[in-house]
Structure 1
Amino acid sequence: MDETIEIEGLRTIVDRFDHVLLDQWGTLHEGQSIFPAARDCLARLRQAGKRVLVLSNSGKRARSNAQRLASLGLPTDAYDGILTSGEVTWNGLKKRTRAPFAELGRGCFLIARGGDRTIVDGLDLAIVADPENADFILLAGLDDAAADPEYWRQRLTGAATRSLPMLCANPDLAMFGAQGLIPAPGALAHFYEMLGGRVTFVGKPHAPIFKAALDELGQPPPARVLMVGDSLDHDIAGAHAAGMLTLFLRAGVHRDSPNEPVHGVAGPNARTPHWTMTRLAW
């Protein structure tokens, strides 16, 4: 497929895929409640025999995100599973069978939102209070008050100087705070790279979370898997690199340029989706 095709609903391409990966924020909800059309679409997909996984860049474990979706009106039996970058990170640190997890030590300086420690629960780690005493930094989330990368400059400069590795479990560059869009963990990770630090990213658009999704689905051909999301940089680029089909939703993170052609918004071919529509609908 050489150019993006506009569609009105997934029903028009339902024979092109067997499995669906759904982004969470901007695709299923925007923090208030599940979009009614999205809820109906999930029911129709399941009726059509499609397997549906929610794929999120949340640095929290899958269970926390499932509870969050249920509170917004989407029960766990509405989809087949949920996979977060936090869950992939936890599994990697638990098994320690492949890079980059196998090379990391036990001393962990944890940066998480609201003091959440679920990403390290049950792991053989020693959580330390200062990067000076750590073997690596685990970046899972950020409080609004600590979202500005400059807030971390003093603490992270020394860590970068001694090449302390950072594991970023949420590559998102921006998130919604009380005052609107603010820097997300991915922005802090890139700031750490700018300081000279070494960072490994786990979530979209990076390969580990898409490999984990294929594992969860039983290793189907990637060309029979459809990724649906509102981020060209994370959902579309990551799935494209994994060899998957892609559907871009305009009424999301790129909503400020609704009249611009998708190719103009997308830029490089790696960010050009196969299909596009306004919101998730059947």
Structure 2
Amino acid sequence: MTTLRFIDHLRELAAERDVVLCDVWGVVHNGVMSFPEACSALKTFRDRGGAVIFITNAPRPADAVRRQLRRFGVPDDAYDGIASSGDLTRSYVAEHPAKAIFWLGPERDSAIHEGLDPVFAPIERADYIICTGPFDDETETAEDYRALMMQARERKLPLICANPDIVVQSGDRLLYCAGAIAELYRELGGEVVFYGKPHRPIYERAMALARERRGEDTPLSRVLAIGDSVRTDLMGAHAFGIDLVFLTRGIHSEQFAGIDQLDPTSVKELFGRPPRALMRELKW
């Protein structure tokens, strides 16, 4: 294994690629405001003929994600489409119309249910759980839900995780996500269905959107993923068979402070199988 070094610019790899599958939180915004250089880099890639698909574990449909991106200052011309775990979760709900849902998540995620006419029920009468996150991610962790998850396990309720992320960056803080609760439930012996990275369906959805944009299929060798999470972005890209540029400014930033290159031992400890390259932040 060779030493893994940082690159400074997306253009160092862009000539070899036709499609970029780009993570959102921590890459193009921090949950408060956009990163202008990252948005500009993606726009430049598009201007040169490439397609950019945002691939996000946001537990909301693409239209709701787009509205949020606009509020954060991410311009529409930075991307061509959005593949969200929220849309995949909506498909599951649509396929089980007669089943009662216990919804675990904050009110801001209510768009995940729009147009589906779901039947909600308390945990005692629900047929399954839709988890979009803690009720209050400002103060709560997965441990706050241990008793509830034990109750769900006793009833053998499937938990549909609409956001496999464990944490997400919001400004200068890390907030817990649905994935943290889902992993606790799985540790307790509960059944969990994950929608989003690192699982294959969201990548298939992203590539379908790229096909719509380009009018043809794209060989995986011409696809580049960009992300900041080992567990979701890197593992998902490897499993799908595409390269990934790993950004070190995101949720793993403390591990990369002051590092200019990684020796083989450090690469194995941090990544297992390494990414294509490292960047501190996305820029052209």
Note whether the superposition's TM-score is higher than 0.5: yes
Aligned match of 1:268: 272
- Residue type at the aligned position of 1:75: P
Shift of 1:179: 9.3
Counterpart among 242, 245, 264 of residue 243 in structure 2: 245
- Write the distance in 2 (CA, Å) between the matches of 1:55 and 1:182: 19
Indicate conservation of the 8 Å contact 1:167/1:200, yes or no. yes
| Structure 1 pair 105–153 and aligned structure 2 pair: CA distance change class (3 A) | farther
Q: 1:179, 1:16 → 2: CA distance?
A: 34
RMSD, aligned CA: 2.3
Whether contact under 8 Å (1:163, 1:196) holds in the other structure is no
Contact residue 6 and residue 275 of structure 1 kept, 8 A: yes
Q: Does 1:147 align with 2:145?
A: no
Name which structure has the greater RCO, CA cutoff 8 Å, separation 6+. Answer: 2
Which amino acid letter does the alignment assign opposite residue 139 of structure 1? C
- Please name the residue that 1:99 is paired with: none
Q: Percent identity?
A: 35
Partner residue in 1 for 2:222: 224
Letter in 1 for 2:191: R
Distance 2:91 2:68 in 1: 21
Give the TM-score of the pair, scaled to structure 1.
0.88
2:201 to 200, 203, 208: 208
Once the two structures are TM-superposed, the CA of residue 173 in structure 1 deviates from its matched residue by: 0.8
SS at 2:110 equivalent: coil
CA distance in 2, matches of 1:107, 1:50: 43
Task: Report if aligned partners of 1:131, 1:156 keep a CA contact under 8 Å in 2.
Answer: no
The Cα shift of 1:169 comes to 0.6
Q: 1-side partners of 2:172 and 2:5: how far apart?
A: 36
Which of 170, 174, 186 aligns to 2:179? It is 186
Q: Which amino acid letter does the alignment assign opposite residue 283 of structure 2?
A: A
Q: Which amino acid aligns with 1:268?
A: G
Unmatched segments (≥5 aa) in structure 2? 212-216
Letter in 2 for 1:169: A
Q: 1:114 to 1:178 in 2, by over 3 A?
A: farther
1:131 aligned to 2:123?
Answer: yes
Q: CA deviation at 1:216?
A: 1.7
Aligned residue-pair number: 272
- Aligned partner of 1:117 in structure 2 is 110
Q: Which moved more, 1:53-62 or 1:72-81?
A: 72-81
Please state how far the C-alpha of 1:187 moved relative to its aligned partner: 0.8
Taking a change above 3 Å as real, the CA distance of residues 176 and 231 of structure 1, as seen in their structure-2 partners, is closer
One-letter identity of the residue aligned with 1:226: L
> Is the 8 Å Cα contact of residues 248 and 276 (structure 1) preserved in structure 2?
yes
Per-residue deviation at 1:75? 2.4
How has the CA–CA distance of structure 1 residues 276 and 26 changed in structure 2, closer, same or farther, with 3 Å as cutoff? same
Could you say which residue in structure 1 is the equivalent of 2:80?
80
Structure-1 separation of matches of 2:144 and 2:185: 12
The CA deviation at 1:124 is 5.0
Contact 1:147–1:184 (Cα < 8 Å) also in 2 = no
Q: Could you tell me how far apart the structure 2 residues matched to 1:158 and 1:179 are? A: 34
Partner of 2:156: 163
Give the CA deviation at 1:254.
Answer: 1.4
Listed one character per residue, the Cα deviations across residues 153-204 of structure 1 (whole Å, up to 9, x for unaligned) are 2322122123210100101112357993343211111111122210011111
Answer whether contact 2:174 2:251 (CA < 8 A) is retained.
Answer: no
Distance change in 2, residues 1:263/1:105 (3 Å): farther
Alignment of 1:31-42 (within 5 A): 31-42=31-42
Relative to structure 1, the CA distance from residue 169 to residue 35 in structure 2 (aligned partners, 3 Å threshold; closer, same or farther) is same
